[in-house]
């Protein structure tokens, strides 16, 4: 080739060039946002992650509602997996199991029949053995969904339509809380009592009406001090009972989205002629009773905790009852304090309230959660009213024509 001849053009000159660093950064950010939005964090309006929403809607569509008989859990799992959630059947069933456990959710959304696990950490029976249907409370999460109250989107293969959010007549995010680990962030929201949450929402709506607030931005709630809310919403209400210590941590959680407090088992101390013993009736949230007792026995064998003679688990269907016998020469109150300090009879709960608003992860405060829910319900009621009005007008048009024909 002579020096005067031109070299052929490089076929990659017109292509966009990326360094490996740029490609890895872009791909990882896309993956992280996919996990945050589509898997790990709950939507603030209905308090559900996509898998929970798909399970509830799939069972509703299939007719497995509270006013009908139970059906095999495997059938519900198959319908949800085939129509809305193209992932492993075990992950869907694990979601159903947790939504049916009264020691995991403050207000279970699925009514299960069969072995759905226990507070000791026992696993549920296989899906082919258990039966399930929607709980009566779940009906309120799906009320009026057929009346164009929420937007729908195509499923994974465009063969079905699934809701982007449920109408959620219940403030589920506060009622049942949420736990999730995403990429670079996590969420941990404790459950609350329905009556207290309803009272706080009533206060919030009244303040909106007083201020004439018309802004639809969920991140700009009306000016209500957290202390006013806490006159109605005292704090978390765990399904396993126990006692919360640390009101400052609860206030921090409501004001900033971060808070830490202690949850202590409910124990009774007996020191009488029949002997000395401690009776445990309630244990901290998300603590497995069997593992807790093994931990106490291990502390006794290592002599970290002294004065315990025997431990008996007398729990039954009526509730938890663990009897800890104390030696005659020991003070049961001192032993109980040792147990609180060293065992899982006392646990610290670190709240981190993260959720999705307008498809973005947001650090949540109590006013923001309440305001997002109230605005969502306003939109649902407005759309439901428009739907009913259009249906009534169409019927009126037919009736007017019949009248003229007659």
Active site residues: 129
Q: Are 258 and 351 in contact (CB under 8 A)?
A: yes
**Radius of gyration, CA atoms only, the chain:** 27
Q: How far apart, in whole angstroms, are the C-alpha atoms of residue 246 and residue 230?
A: 14
DSSP 134-191: E-HHHHHHHTTGGGT-S-EEE-TTSSSEEESS---SS-HHHHH-EEEE-SS-EEEE--
How would you class 73 by CB atoms within 10 Å of its CB: exposed for 0-12, middle for 13-18, buried for 19 or more? buried
Element (H, E) at 363: strand 360-363
What's the length of the chain?
406
Q: How far apart, in whole angstroms, are the C-alpha atoms of residue 187 and residue 351?
A: 8
DSSP 38-98: IIIS-BTTT---HHHHHHHHHHHHTT--TTS--EEHHHHHHHHHHHT--S-HHHHHHHHHH
């Amino acid at each position: 080739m002579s020096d005067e001849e031109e070299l052929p053009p490089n076929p990659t000159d017109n292509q966009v060039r990326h360094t490996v660093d740029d490609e890895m950064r872009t791909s990882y950010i896309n993956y992280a946002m996919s996990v945050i939005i589509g898997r790990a964090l709950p939507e603030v309006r209905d308090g559900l992650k996509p898998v929970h929403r798909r399970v509830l809607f799939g069972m509703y569509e299939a007719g497995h509602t509270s006013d009908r008989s139970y059906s095999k859990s495997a059938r519900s799992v198959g319908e949800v997996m085939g129509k809305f959630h193209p992932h492993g059947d075990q992950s869907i069933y694990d979601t159903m199991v947790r939504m049916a456990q009264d020691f995991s959710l403050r207000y279970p959304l699925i009514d299960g029949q069969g072995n759905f696990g226990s507070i000791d950490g026992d696993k549920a029976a296989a899906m082919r053995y258990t039966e399930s249907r929607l709980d009566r409370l779940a009906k309120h999460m799906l009320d009026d969904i057929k009346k164009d109250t929420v937007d729908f989107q195509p499923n994974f293969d465009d063969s079905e339509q699934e809701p982007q959010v449920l109408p959620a007549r219940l403030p589920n995010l506060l009622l049942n809380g949420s736990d999730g680990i995403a990429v670079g962030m996590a969420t941990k929201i404790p459950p609350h009592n329905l009556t207290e949450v309803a009272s706080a929402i009533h206060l919030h709506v009244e303040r909106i009406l007083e201020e004439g607030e018309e802004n639809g931005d969920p991140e700009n709630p009306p000016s209500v001090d957290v202390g006013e809310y806490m006159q109605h919403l005292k704090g978390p209400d765990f399904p396993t009972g126990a006692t919360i210590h640390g009101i400052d941590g609860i206030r921090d959680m409501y004001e900033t989205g971060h808070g830490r407090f202690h949850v202590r088992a409910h124990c009774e101390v007996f020191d009488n002629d029949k002997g000395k013993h401690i009776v445990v009736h309630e244990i901290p949230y998300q603590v497995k009773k069997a593992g807790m007792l093994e931990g106490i026995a291990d502390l006794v064998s290592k002599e970290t905790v002294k004065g315990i003679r025997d431990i008996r688990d007398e729990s039954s269907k009526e509730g938890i009852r663990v009897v800890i016998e104390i030696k005659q020469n020991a003070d049961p109150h001192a032993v109980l304090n040792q147990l609180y300090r060293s065992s899982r009879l006392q646990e610290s709960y670190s709240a981190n309230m993260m959720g999705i608003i307008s498809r973005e992860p947001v650090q949540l405060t109590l006013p923001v959660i309440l305001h997002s829910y109230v605005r969502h319900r306003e939109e649902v009621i407005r759309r439901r009213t428009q739907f009913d009005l259009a249906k009534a007008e169409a019927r009126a048009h037919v009736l007017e024509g019949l009248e003229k024909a007659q």
